[in-house]
Structure 1
Amino acid sequence: MKSTFFNPINGLTILGLLLFASCEKEEDLPSNQVNETEETAQEVDLTTTMEDIDKVTLSSFQRNGFANRSLLTMEEDLCEKVKIEWLPGVKKMIIDFGQGCTSPRGVTRKGKIIVTYTGRYWSPGSVITSIFENFYINDRMIEGVRVITNQGFNENDKFFTFKIVIEGGKITWPDGTFRTVESRHV
């Protein structure tokens, strides 16, 4: 039987190579995964922004007694400086945040939301159109036209159904990146 001699230098060399190989730099995420992460963050930001616009519009309707809600009121998140110009003769409302103001919940808005309507928000068949004029939410510029149509109750008469159309929509972040939005949802 042949005896084997273990050389400690060879053992250390092999151990060193194994350690070196296991400590390689991690690979960067593939660009499509980075884009998916950014895309998801932008989608969440966009959804939050549209929800904020809905709350501002509903609060403004409510403030003017035009929301059809007498038992349940929305908690307003409008800053003190906001001016709401109510033009019922032409079915228009201008929500003007001026050069900017911060709401009680810390949301900074500036510019105008110009709202036209055919009827009360909760009345079936009503159409509410929002146009943004130099409008920003937390330094994100919002552009486009958003149309909400109340299609009445659903088949089970339990929930209102709204058709929402966004045309020429665009959200621009402070770093100059932007996302365009064209959508139709029911």
Structure 2
Amino acid sequence: MSDPETPNQPLLQAATNVPAAQRGSSSRAYKVAGFTLLACLLIAGQAMIAYFLLNQRNDIKSLEEQNSNLQAEMTRGRSVAVPMRTHMAMNALPVMDVSMDEDSSITDPEKPAPRQVTDCQLEAAGKKPVQVPGFRPSCDERGLYQPQQCFMTQCWCVNPANGKQIPGSLKNGQASCRAAVIAGETR
């Protein structure tokens, strides 16, 4: 195979037969050409990035304006109330008798007086503001707060009389509110 007269001589062997002086200058030329090509590609990439940024300047400006508008709305404290299904029994709502009888001015001792609307019922109906926007407390049939209140994925225990959170009861998921609660105190 190393016979110089063989016409099917491999290309690599033919390249090695080139004199040493020519080999050094051509490899240097290939290196310079490679580095030049690499520099051209980098410059072209930078030019493309600059072009795209200039074309998207308006988009970036409108996104910045939207961001500042949203931040301004968030700092104003205005919240959007999301309709939520309240967990309140229908008999917990006060029923008022509006019939006009001739003896309506006289109160009937056998007829129970309409119940007073509680803070829990007012908060659940959205008539009284709560500290967490969008949260509506759960009330029992007497209008007191349910011992466990939940919002999103977190639950906590409260005093049923006033709805104040019991310290240390906040949990992800269901909270265990088995402790007996007596009008204002926890045991």
What TM-score, normalized to structure 2?
Answer: 0.27
Structure number with bigger Rg: 2
- Larger proportion of strand: 1
In terms of fraction of residues, the more helix-rich structure is 2
